[in-house]
Chains A and B, each alone.
Chain A
Amino acid sequence: MALLKTIGLTRRFGGLSALSDVSMEINEKEIVGVIGPNGAGKSTFTNVVAGLYLPTSGKIEFKGQDISMTPAHVRCHLGIARTFQLMRPLYGLNMIENIMLGGLFGKGHSLKIARKGALEMCKFMALKDVERPISAMTALEIKKMEIARGLTTEPSLLFLDEVMAGLNKDETMEIIETVRKINQQGMTIIVIEHVMRVIRELTHRVIVLEWGKVLCEGAYDKVSSDPRVITAYLGEEAEC
């Protein structure tokens, strides 16, 4: 049984079809990449599956359960976590408190247990000086903190929405290593990225979206040499 299954998933915003009849299956322990040009619907896909938007039509099945209309916080309890494309730290809380959020409300732990879990997560993500306010953190640390905040909800499925954006080579390698480690512990991960090197290194399988529809899917090498994908990203060859 697939961990996540979308059947004909459609999301319209007024006249714009951000997602059109998207059907896919994600199996446990996979790292699946979702790529596509800007406006393809990658973030909308994350938002709809995570529960920020309800689908206009179609179905989402998670662990065999229909979650199409389930509220976002309940989907978190069921095991879906995500990071955000534009970093969204909670400025009223410091680093460790941000991370504790997952344990407190995702798992319903007490303050003590949530804090303990958050501290362990900080060790795992190599985050130091955990009482710092957000204003004293680097971009890489904030990204790691957001991943940690998602992980403390103990999800089965983790969406990483363009987490590598703005990172240099070393930082990107560090996150890639961390994602591998998380996957080795049994986590299913959906990686939305523009950086192709990350997709090539990390993912078992790639799904390509364009104009809200699934263009093709398969291993990275097959997909990256598919002429339709190249056209989607680079446009058609000019008639000279």
Chain B
Amino acid sequence: MKYWKYLIFAVCVLIAISLPKFLGVYPLQILNIVLIYVALALSWDMLLRSGQMSLGIAGSCGIGGYTAVLCTINLGLNPLVGILIGSGVAAIIALLVGYSVLHLRAMYFAIVTLAVTEIFRILVRNFEITGGPEGIILPNAIFKGDAAGTYWLMLAIGVFTIILSWLFQKTRIHFALTSTANDEIVAASSGLNIFKYLVIVFVISSAIQGMVGGAYAQIYGFVTPESSFSVNFTLLPIIMVLLGGTNSTWGPVIGAVILTVLAEALKLVIPYGHLLIFGVVMIIAIIWFPGGIIGILRKGGVQAHH
């Protein structure tokens, strides 16, 4: 029965929901960071399945974060609503950018996403309404900083993204993305509107990243140009996906979990030691197992479809 997979997942989610009962504040905060990167890694992989690589995760995160904070402070909106609006604004900007540039491919598209990130980072740094170089500090973090509440928020976002990634592998989007990545000429000759699907996937991917950015801003209670548009948001998920395995749901999840936990553990021992690890991991992964951990499992005969 195929459904045992979903059953196991449901059980895991239930266990995850119950964790605040057993874990203290510090472990829950670590889990928050894990979930942030799980969602970001998955969203990056979802676009990668079409063959296009985005270098603009930080841009969508920053746009989502600043929008969420501005909604809370200037419009007095509920922080959760602010996060949703942040996600929406990131999606709209992705729609505008994508519609203009998704006729470009590969490096050209990647560089545009990088440029858009930088443009927005510089914009927020230079306007008063976005707090200039110092950013904006929220009077209250969401849920007044309650560890369980913020954990459940991030868990919801993480689970939502996992389900979305699954859907991307089960519905016609899987066919659209795979055929585009494999051979655009065949895809177009078979009637696929490649441009349409690339824009859709880019928008959805950016919406997730905006949601994560918004949640991040609300949880930690502030936005600044450097932290909200931090290059970590772009580079780390990429490394996590490379480690865990591209073109899968569990690959990015495994990569995000392993590297985040490792990084947090290393931070206790060596300041910034985690950066060393990321570099080493990336080199090892690219040279020895470009298929990632999932690639190794697949070769070893374990037919992991997702």
Which residues does A use to contact B, with CB under 8 Å? 50-52, 71-73, 76-77, 81-82, 84, 88, 90-93, 97, 100-102, 104-107, 111, 149-150, 153
Chain B residue, CB-CB nearest to A77? B191
Contact status of A72 and B189, CB under 8 A, knowing A90-B178, A93-B179: yes
Tell me the smallest distance from the CB of A213 to a CB of chain B, in Å. 26
Which residues does B use to contact A, with CB under 8 Å? 171-172, 175-176, 178-179, 181-183, 185-194, 247
Residues of B close to A104: CB separation below 8 A:
172, 175
B175 touching A153, Cβ below 8 Å: no
Tell me the smallest distance from the CB of A103 to a CB of chain B, in Å. 9
Residues of A close to B178: CB separation below 8 A:
90, 92-93
Contact status of A97 and B189, CB under 8 A, knowing A73-B194, A90-B182, A92-B181: no
Contact status of A105 and B176, CB under 8 A, knowing A73-B188, A82-B189: yes
Residues of B close to A51: CB separation below 8 A:
188-189
Tell me the smallest distance from the CB of A160 to a CB of chain B, in Å. 13
B175 touching A100, Cβ below 8 Å: yes
B193 touching A84, Cβ below 8 Å: no
Chain A residue, CB-CB nearest to B179? A90
Residues of A close to B179: CB separation below 8 A:
90, 92-93, 101
8 Å CB contact of A76 from B175, B183, B189: B189
B171 touching A52, Cβ below 8 Å: no
8 Å CB contact of B191 from A90, A91, A107, A111: A107
B191 touching A153, Cβ below 8 Å: yes
Chain A residue, CB-CB nearest to B176? A105
In the docked arrangement, what's the CA distance between A15 and B264, Å?
61
B192 touching A73, Cβ below 8 Å: yes
Tell me the smallest distance from the CB of A196 to a CB of chain B, in Å. 27
B190 touching A76, Cβ below 8 Å: yes
In the docked arrangement, what's the CA distance between A92 and B180, Å?
10
Chain A residue, CB-CB nearest to B193? A73
8 Å CB contact of A101 from B171, B190, B193: B190
Chain A residue, CB-CB nearest to B172? A104
Which of A71, A91, A101: most chain B CB closer than 10 A? A101
Tell me the smallest distance from the CB of B199 to a CB of chain A, in Å. 14
Residues of A close to B183: CB separation below 8 A:
88, 90
Residues of A close to B192: CB separation below 8 A:
73, 101, 105
Residues of A close to B186: CB separation below 8 A:
84, 88, 90, 101, 149
Which of A72, A97, A149: most chain B CB closer than 10 A? A72
8 Å CB contact of A88 from B176, B181, B185, B191: B185
Chain A residue, CB-CB nearest to B196? A73
A105 touching B175, Cβ below 8 Å: yes
A101 touching B188, Cβ below 8 Å: no
8 Å CB contact of A105 from B182, B185, B191: B191
Residues of B close to A100: CB separation below 8 A:
175
A111 touching B189, Cβ below 8 Å: no
In the docked arrangement, what's the CA distance between A73 and B191, Å?
4
Which of A51, A90, A100, A150: most chain B CB closer than 10 A? A90
In the docked arrangement, what's the CA distance between A82 and B186, Å?
9
8 Å CB contact of B175 from A81, A101, A107: A101
Residues of B close to A97: CB separation below 8 A:
175
Chain B residue, CB-CB nearest to A83? B189
Tell me the smallest distance from the CB of B183 to a CB of chain A, in Å. 5
8 Å CB contact of A111 from B172, B185, B187, B190: B172
A52 touching B185, Cβ below 8 Å: yes
